[in-house]
Amino acid sequence: DSGVTQTPKHLITATGQRVTLRCSPRSGDLSVYWYQQSLDQGLQFLIQYYNGEERAKGNILERFSAQQFPDLHSELNLSSLELGDSALYFCASSVVQSGRAKGSEAFFGQGTRLTVV
């Protein structure tokens, strides 16, 4: 168990709909990352939040948005869904860098599998 919780695990929805994916980071982790993994593809970076503020943005579609709340959980909102949005969406969290901190890696949740029909 990585300590990162994602809900729901599975989601099936129709084209044109809107969904919200939720992520609770590990206790104490201030950074949250969202990644998209389409079938048999690599992980595409979507967006990163650090302590409530957007830190970095990847190839995230305008139909997608995210936020990180004061309690550090994060939500990824996907709207006007298309068939091509079907994918596994991962959330990851990591500690803040401080000196040569040992905790440099990101810990991943189990992902939310989104199927758009």
74 touches other proteins (CB under 8 A)? no
Residue with tokens 């079907």: 86
Torsion angle in degrees (nearest 10) through CA of 79, 84, 85, 87: 170
41 touches other proteins (CB under 8 A)? yes
Q: Near other proteins by CB under 8 A, which window of 11-19, 27-35, 64-72, 77-85?
A: 27-35
Contacts of 110 (CB under 8 A, 6+ apart): 6, 9
Residues that bind other proteins (CB under 8 A): 30-31, 33, 35, 37, 41-43, 45, 48, 50, 55-56, 58, 88, 90, 92, 94, 96-97, 100, 104-108, 110-111
